[in-house]
A and B are shown apart, each in its own frame.
Chain A
Amino acid sequence: MIALVFGGSACGKSAFAERLLSACPGAPRYYAACMEPYGEEAEERIRRHRALRAGKGFLTVEAQRNLSALSLPAGCAVLLECLGTLTANEIFSPGASEESALRAIRSGLDFLEERCASVVLVGNDVFADGVSYEEGTAAYLRVLAAVQREAARRAALVAEIVCGLPIIHKGSPELFGASLSGKERLSP
């Protein structure tokens, strides 16, 4: 069972995804980290996300590229953070192309869907800034959009997060055992 949780920068999508992972079926619960831990800013971001996850009992697995080679026990639950970073790692690898990146991520999704009881994918909303980018970035955007369309097709829950509040586009968080508080309105 797949959930896709997406939104803009600092919208609260990670916190929502972690709530889902804590509630969903499957054990043990893994946090699959896509970010390469290089540089001061990446380290700071990783520190912040680790503090968010502290005490939730998630195991961390490094998932910078080639998801289908991850070592995961059958029936586990995985939160993958995030498709934007994974796509960048795949497409900007030496020798990679738009097609190879898309293929690698698709087979990764196949693998996770088959292997895990629950998969929470964190996606990125980077498609509405009205900017025309040069070809490298344009190819990146095409792959990420294709990956997220595919994830949404397979998903039992698609939630967009705005200011920490979920807009449910497909399914229901209850499918993952999570409930929304009464103050959180759903739309449409």
Chain B
Amino acid sequence: MILVVGGAGQGKLRFARELSGSADGDAPDAAIFDKLHLAVRDCLREGGDLSALAEKALQSRVVVCDEIGCGIVPLDREERRWREETGRLCQALAREAETVYRVVCGIPVCLKGESRC
């Protein structure tokens, strides 16, 4: 599994598509688990199982997640929980991942493993 993280709008999905060899078309990519941070939020709202979500992410070829932990601590408790669970899940996925990239201004920075770019 390849983990791609970074801030909003940094070019993560475009890079993930390059990695997975899929075209820039509109078709959803089966190989890419995009917007993991939103899946975590939905899972918490619905009282779902985060470990099942982690398992699904681990089975994907490429996982894309926004970094959401770099702001002032939110006043809302559920938002605090969301960003912490997302951060911990990304740590767990990074431990298992073959390669981890962080995309900054469209530039992929390889944090773990062998860079393919």
Contact = CB atoms under 8 A, between A and B. Distances in A.
B73 interface: yes
Closest 10 CB pairs of A and B: A10-B87, A8-B69, A129-B71, A9-B69, A163-B94, A8-B70, A164-B91, A165-B111, A10-B84, A163-B90
Contacts of A27: none
B71 A131 contact: yes
A10 B112 contact: no
Interface string A170-188: 0000000000000111010
Contacts of A162: 5, 67, 102, 111
20 contacts: A8-B69, A10-B91, A11-B87, A11-B91, A126-B70, A128-B7, A129-B70, A131-B71, A162-B5, A162-B111, A163-B3, A163-B5, A163-B93, A163-B94, A165-B94, A167-B111, A183-B112, A184-B111, A185-B112, A187-B110
A163 B91 CA distance: 4
Contacts of B109: 167, 187
A129 B72 contact: yes
Interface in B1-50: 3, 5, 7
B69 A10 contact: yes
Contacts of B112: 165, 183-185
Nearest to A162: B102
Interface string B57-90: 0000000000111111100010010011111101
A41 interface: yes
A113 interface: no
Interface string A110-130: 000000000000000111110
B56 interface: no
A133 B72 contact: yes
Given A12-B91, A185-B111, A125 B70 contact: yes
B94 A185 contact: no
A131 B113 CA distance: 34
A133 B73 CA distance: 12
Nearest to B98: A183
Interface of A: 7-12, 41, 125-129, 131, 133, 137, 141, 162-165, 167, 183-185, 187
A164 B95 contact: yes
Given A137-B72, A185-B113, 7 more contacts: A9-B73, A10-B84, A11-B90, A126-B70, A128-B7, A165-B112, A187-B110
Nearest to B88: A10
B111 A163 contact: yes
A184 B110 CA distance: 10
A133 B77 CA distance: 19
A183 B115 CA distance: 12
A142 to B, nearest CB: 13
A185 B97 CA distance: 13
